[in-house]
Amino acid sequence: MTELKTGGAQGYLRIATEEAFSTPELIDAWRDELDQPDVDPGFQSLIGYYLNHPADRPRWIADRLQDLGEKRIADMDERGIDRQVLALTSPATNVLRDADRASVIAEIANDRLAEACRNYPDRFTGMAACAPQDAKRAAKEIERAVTKLGMRAVIINSNILGEYLDNPKFWEVLEAAEALDVPIYIHPNTAPANMIAPMLEAGLDGAIFGFGVETGMHGLRLITTGILDRFPKLQIILGHMGEALPFWMYRLDFMHQAGVRTGRYENMKPLKKEKVSRYLRENFYMTNSGVAWEKAIKFTQDVIGIDRVLYAMDYPYQCPAEEVTTLDAMDMPIGDKKKFFQSNAERVFKI
């Protein structure tokens, strides 16, 4: 295998846009949450695994998540990653029932991430964490993080205690992101307790399947409930090849229009842009986190647009160097490949 290097000799820099970190304060809060008698089953499955399972994979990941310095930079160098766009790892504070504690942890995480970005300005870009449980405070924190700390996006680790961003209680968060002109990256969370049972019993609740279900649904809800008509300039980023929404596009359009036409649902009204697919093409960016697969990347470029598909590695959860080599070797015009690896990210995150 060719040695991977940073610096762009292949014709583009590699900017990885869904890269994760954690903080000691968050891990403490997760441990407290795991100790609760009524702990959420998806959270227990996911975070119980990453904090407590003795296998090499979760232990290595837990170690790397907490590093925003030399180990991470060495891993990036080894894999030829020029820059990471970093976000507080899922489910972050979204599972914490104490809104104050959740807010404080998000704020400290932003301070820690801002420090790392100052230490490595050529290697790190940050997304702002927040705790939508207290939406007013979250909106203020987004403003602070963007205007004072230099964050270039907002990370929302999908459902917040089982609720979604279309809920009016969270609209201040959406309003802040739109007003500050920063995209919201909706990263998967495990499905909430009222959705997860049949996936959990088969071991399909995590990244293998349940993540995509939960987060594809979240993205779709923002369209069908009219949220993107209310906040028309809002841009949403979905990982994992758009959580398969591009592949569903035809059916989404057909069945959405059938539902609207017959008035089947009170909360599914006609949309300004009419078709679900127009929102996917005009209000969404999608990254290939977890999907180092040329066929799916090209399909998505084809159906949502070459300017809307971005590279992501999903470090430290999924970061074999072979995946970088595979993507470098994609049969794709160099201009398109540069958009994918570099220039789309530079535009979206104002790098």
Binding residues for a copy of itself (CB under 8 A): 49, 53, 55-58, 159, 162, 164, 166, 191-192, 194-199, 201-204, 206-209, 212-213, 216-217, 220-221, 224-225, 240-241, 244, 246-252, 254-256, 258-259, 261-268, 290-293, 295-296, 299, 302-303, 318
What are the b/e assignments for 196-213, b being 16+ CB within 10 Å? beebbeeeebbbeebbbb
Task: Indicate the residue among 258 and 329 with the shorter CB distance to a copy of itself.
Answer: 258
Amino acid at 159: N
DSSP conformation class of 341: I
Provide, rounded to whole angstroms, the least separation between the CB of residue 195 and a copy of itself: 5
Q: What is the DSSP string of 233-287?
A: T--EEE-HHHHTTTTTHHHHHHHHHHHHHHT--TT-PPPTT-SHHHHHHHSEEEE
* Catalytic, out of 75, 82, 205, 314: 314
336 is a catalytic site residue? no
Query: CA torsion angle for 104, 84, 241, 293 (degrees, to 10)?
Result: -150
Task: Indicate the residue among 13 and 303 with the shorter CB distance to a copy of itself.
Answer: 303
Going from the C-alpha of 192 to that of each of 21, 77, 119, the distances in angstroms are 23, 37, 37
User: What is the C-alpha to C-alpha distance for residues 101 and 25, in angstroms, rounded to an integer?
Assistant: 10
Provide, rounded to whole angstroms, the least separation between the CB of residue 233 and a copy of itself: 22
Provide, rounded to whole angstroms, the least separation between the CB of residue 317 and a copy of itself: 9
Task: Indicate the residue among 150 and 299 with the shorter CB distance to a copy of itself.
Answer: 299
Task: Indicate the residue among 91 and 212 with the shorter CB distance to a copy of itself.
Answer: 212
Provide, rounded to whole angstroms, the least separation between the CB of residue 251 and a copy of itself: 5
Q: Which among 127, 64, 133 is positioned nearest to 94, based on CA atoms?
A: 133
Residue 47 φ then ψ, to 5°? -80, -30
- Residues with a catalytic annotation lie at 314
